[in-house]
Structure 1
Amino acid sequence: MSKYLCIIPARGGSKRIPQKNIKDFLGKPIISYSIKTSISSGLFDEVMVSTEDPEIAEVAKSFGAKVPFLRSVINSDDFSPTVDVLLEVIEQYEKIGKKFDYVCCIYPTAPLISIENLKLGKEKLIVEKRTSIFPVVGFSYPIWRGLRETDEGTVELVWPKYVHTRSQDLEEIYHDAGQWYWCNVTDLKRDKKVFSDNSSVIKLNQSEVQDIDNLTDWEMAKLKYELLKGNK
């Protein structure tokens, strides 16, 4: 029987929003939403938090996540890629005799994630035999009408050939929603990357996605969370 692991990577030392991963979000540490959703989904044999910060570790454990080991120093700085963190966790588990077939990386500042989408991602990963599945959202404005500043201080169209094309005729382009990634462990260990030629996606709408890089984003995430919760 296949084994499933949820990894929530929660590094300490956020500069733009101090203690971002455990900052209060509508009455609870924001990481608790990712932990609760992961556990409540029933999709995982284990839900763990990867961190080098003892305070984050204690908060994570208080909400039901496991922290069987702390993250290494080499994977705890601002430049540590997510895939290296995932591979380190997988390796550490294998050292203690625990092997997993599939892993889902869920970010700690993603309170808008839904169990339904996590289940859909797992199903697509297995049924379609993908290396990874992750959610995307369309750009709110057509990127084909993008502008850039010139050296002279003026602006120009990046793709001027689309200046007269109707918006509805422009191809929709998506970006990573920054919430979670389902991965086949064998493929992840081989390719050492989350995105590959055999990755696929789940499309979300703007109300389900909010990147949180500053305090304005934080307040917007609150509004979207309350909107989604009210609708449900």
Structure 2
Amino acid sequence: MASYDRLRAGGSPRPLETGDTWWYAAVAGETAGSFRTRVRTRTRRACLGAVLLLTVVYAGLVLTATGRRWGDAAVTGRRADSAAATVLREHPSLAGLTTLSLIVGCVLLLAVGLIRKRYVLTGAAAGAVVTALAVTGLLQRYAPRPRFADTAAGALVPSGFPSAQTTLALGIALGLVLVVPYRQRALVVGAATLWATAVGAYTIAAGQHRPGDVIAAALVVLAVVSGLLAVIARKGKVRPGPR
């Protein structure tokens, strides 16, 4: 346990010992101040770790020949998969459904926050999504990217690093952390994350992005949202959840 952990009134009668988990302290015996410190520290580390991993992914999957060959192999394998090609050919509405789901997700994120009258947090969640999309756009425009062969058309198609669709979907999923009530948060955010994963998988299956583009989008969103949570915790706007 950290030195700033203290039992609060009405907490567990058992003294906290070395080896106790941080969540036990948060539920049973940690003061609000130390909980905020812990959240700020961990989210700040998560932000820095996501930035570091994004750099590694960019260097390994975009700048190196091995990473580019892996991306080419993924695209070639997707085109060679007759089952995926059949599904995409017989269900052209999947593209429109994906776009519609992204619009519905944006509306849901704003609606939940406004209905609960969490105006500041709703603005913060929307700002995180916009910031993640802006970072994605800057990387797509200015980061050097390889071009891979489009075997179907014989042309060269630029790689979209990172994936904007995946960035938006995951931004919505993690933005719900700020606006959904505590007791429903795990279920709602978990379901939204599965949906965002499906969106990313569709962009790969449709040949719009490489796997590295989707991975990079997830790391961009994680970095932005973790940084935002660190700022919120620094301002003292977080507290331990109820028992």
TM range (shorter): under 0.3
Q: Between Structure 1 and Structure 2, whose CA radius of gyration is higher?
A: 2
Bigger relative CO (Cα 8 Å, ≥ 6 apart): 2
Q: Greater helix share, 1 or 2?
A: 2
Instruction: Give the strand-richer structure, 1 or 2.
Output: 1
